[in-house]
Every structure is written in structure tokens, then in C-alpha cells.
A = this chain, B = another copy of it.
Amino acid sequence: MSVLIVGSIALDTVKTPVEEHTDQLGGSASYAALGASFFSPVKLVGVVGDDFPQSEFAFWKERKIDAAGVQRVPGKTFRWSGEYAWDMNTRETKSVALNVFEHFRPTLPPSYRATDFVLLANIAPALQSHVLDQMEKPRFVVADTMDLWIETARADLDALLPRVDLLILNDSEAREMTKETSLIKAGKRIRAAGPTYVAIKKGEHGALLFGEDEFFSCGAYPLEDIHDPTGAGDTFAGGMAGYLAATSGELGFPAFRRAMIYGSVLASFNVEAFSLERLRTLTRKEIDERYQIFRSMSQFEVVA
């Protein structure tokens, strides 16, 4: 089953304590679409400028990512630049140039409107709602969000939440949204605001999943070296949504557990290289092997 993905498409300049790379493919939709494409065909929605490399469209085609919904408009592509601190956990945004993204108003091609699965990757919640408004009757809606929207577009976000089946956000965002210190309380409160499922990402500490009287907790895949954390959360969301779309016949809690592990696995590969470089050459076989290692690291036996 296809998954429609809308979000930002950017050219990123990222600096870490050891490397710097300029104008690499980035943006929430780029990471999410590639993450999802390992499991399901993707219909991508976004906007790029006339400076955007045509080679990326060729790559998307090869990956079965339908880019009919990616508008190319006159002007420059959205650019973001950030720098990571020595611990790779904190980053500073050095510059943002919205460019063609500033007036982006996603319009779905007619061929997209009947898609059953939707991932509203991280963009303004008003745009996320605008995409849903154009859809016929999506069966399952995943949304990602960020601190910026919690702080500056809270009413739009609150209006979106009842339309969302699975909300994905990180730990600090969950605390900010609910004013709860306990992530357990925060997850439950966010569920009460609309989403049937809530996934809270905790970076190197893994992720939590909240459902109706159901709870799942997983660690992160252990990595010794992280080269570029950019897009890890978007890749996680893409992997999770892509896997769920692929198992669309079965949307019970066991499928959500597996989806969260796949999201974590995808994110762990993503941070091993700059930009999307690791994901470009990744194979489903490598993903499944890491899933099995993940499982062997997390299992323990029943006791009497």
C-alpha cells in the first residue's frame, strides 16, 4: 500500500566537530520518503526551486518514490544550515532561508487523493491539515511535529491532533506540549488530545509507544560513532509509516511495535553518514539483519 508523504525538501549545510558538508539533500520529507521507501511505494509532496538537482528526481524514480506532487517553482530551494556541538546531541541553527518554501501551499495531484496512508512529516500544522483536507478518506494518518509549532502554532496543532492516528514527537517536545515532567504522563495526555497512538522519541535512549491501555518501550540501536544526526527523527517517522503501510491489513499493537523497531533501525543507519548518504545505498537485507540484532539485544526470558 502506498504512503503519501508531505514535508520540507531542503538543501542543508551541516557542520559537526569533524566534518562540514554543503547543500546536501535534506528536509523532513526527503528523509521520511527515503525511510518509507524500503517498505512501501511513496507519493511525495513538496516544493523545490530551480536550483534543485535533477538527479534527485531520477533517484526518487529509481526508489519508487512518485514525485508528481513535488512542485518545481522559480527561485531557490529552501536552505538550512546547522552546527552540532561536540557531544552530537545539541545543535545550533546557523541560518534558515525559506526561499520557495515560504509560500508553499501543498496541492495534491488527483492521483494522490485516494491514498490510504499519510505521513504528515514535519511542516507547519496548518499545511498538514491542508493536505488532509484534499484527501478522500485516508485510513491512517501519521504526523510528526516540532517545538517550533508547539510554540508558535499551537492552535493549528491542537486542531490537527484529532485527525491524527499516530503522533510522533520527541521527549522535550512532549514535555513542552503537556507541561508534564513524566514522559508517561505526557504520552497519556497527548493521546487524550486526539491521536490513538503516540510515539515519543528519546534519541540515544530509544522510544516509547502509547496506545489504548498498551505501552511499548525500546532502546536505541547502540552506535559508537555518529556522523550526522540530521534527519534521524524524520527517517524514524518514515520507516515507521512505511512499515505500517506495508502491513496495512494488520494495524494491531504488535505491528506498531515492529514498526517502531524498523523506524529505530532506519534512524540508526541514517546517522552513520552525512545527509541521506547511508540510506541511498542501504538494502532491505541490511535493515532486516539489524532488526534481528536489535531483537537479540532486547530480549529476556519469561520466569516462573
Contacts and interface: CB of A to CB of B under 8 A. Distances in A.
A254 B299 CA distance: 9
B215 A297 contact: yes
Interface in A181-212: 181-185, 188, 202, 204-206, 208
A86 B257 contact: no
Q: Which 5 A-B pairs rank lowest in CB-CB distance, beginning with the nearest?
A: A217-B219, A205-B205, A257-B300, A184-B222, A87-B181
Interface of A: 86-88, 181-185, 188, 202, 204-206, 208, 215-220, 222-226, 254, 257-258, 260-261, 288, 291-292, 295, 297-304
20 contacts: A86-B181, A184-B222, A205-B206, A206-B206, A208-B219, A208-B222, A216-B297, A217-B297, A218-B219, A219-B219, A254-B301, A257-B300, A258-B301, A261-B300, A288-B304, A291-B303, A292-B302, A295-B302, A298-B298, A298-B300
A88 B222 CA distance: 27
Nearest to A259: B300
Given A202-B205, A288-B304, A185 B215 contact: no
Contacts of A295: 300, 302
A109 to B, nearest CB: 33
A247 to B, nearest CB: 10
Nearest to A288: B303
A240 to B, nearest CB: 13
A297 B182 CA distance: 17
A274 B226 CA distance: 40
A174 to B, nearest CB: 13
Contact of A254 (B86, B219, B300): B300
Nearest to A203: B205
B181 A257 contact: no
Nearest to A207: B219
A181 B157 CA distance: 35
A183 B208 contact: no
A179 B58 CA distance: 45
A177 to B, nearest CB: 16
A208 B205 CA distance: 10
Contacts of A86: 181
**Which of A88, A202, A300 is most buried by chain B, counting CB atoms within 10 A of its CB?**
A300
A258 B206 contact: no
**Which of A188, A217, A220, A261 is most buried by chain B, counting CB atoms within 10 A of its CB?**
A217
